[in-house]
Amino acid sequence: MPTIISHIAVPLALGFGLGKRKISEHLLCAGVLASVLPDADVIGFKFDVQYASQFGHRGFSHSLCFAIVLGLIAAIMHRKLDSSRMAAFLFVSLCAASHGLLDALTDGGLGIALFWPFDNTRYFFPWNGIEVSAIGRGFFSMRSLSVLASEFRWIWCPAILLCSILYFFNRERKTAA
């Protein structure tokens, strides 16, 4: 996985780029939570769940299906999230799906069970430029600095760019209106 901090780059970029009127603070918080929640599956290691199992790390919780389920829950709770049903569904699904997709760009561990429950194959993208972070230990090591540098380059820089583009187009549209 990229470090947990870097997964929140996606909701933050979308949220700040699209602005509070489209993505409320509550919806942004739900998106941030959805972007990190898939890694709660590491708890399985404590209970001897095999990494390669569908319930292991990068298994079902990293699938598109799981992301859609989180989106549906958000859609049901849309009033609490100060959002329309559709915006809540799309934003939370996208933030959750981005987790697995970013993990599939890393250079270590097993791939992502992207199409669970229809297919338990673990997938990577053909390009794996993001350095994988260690699970649970060694966060403050030289290797971690290298991981953070890799994430800054391949996740945070594109996220800042995306945020700026969205912000720019949002502002243009507002000015035109």
Contact 123, 64 (CB under 8 A): no
> With respect to Zn ion, which residue has the nearer C-beta, 2 or 17?
2
> With respect to Zn ion, which residue has the nearer C-beta, 23 or 130?
130
Distance, CA of 77 to CA of 20 (rounded, Å): 18
| Least distance CB 38 / Zn ion (angstroms) | 5
Binding site for Zn ion (CB under 5 A): 1, 39, 103
| Least distance CB 5 / Zn ion (angstroms) | 13
| Least distance CB 83 / Zn ion (angstroms) | 25
Distance, CA of 17 to CA of 31 (rounded, Å): 14
> With respect to Zn ion, which residue has the nearer C-beta, 15 or 56?
56
Q: Tell me phi and psi for residue 17, to 5 degrees.
A: -70, -45
Q: Output the residue with the shortest Cβ distance to Zn ion.
A: 1
Distance, CA of 62 to CA of 120 (rounded, Å): 11
Which amino acid type is present at position 152?
Answer: F
> With respect to Zn ion, which residue has the nearer C-beta, 60 or 89?
60
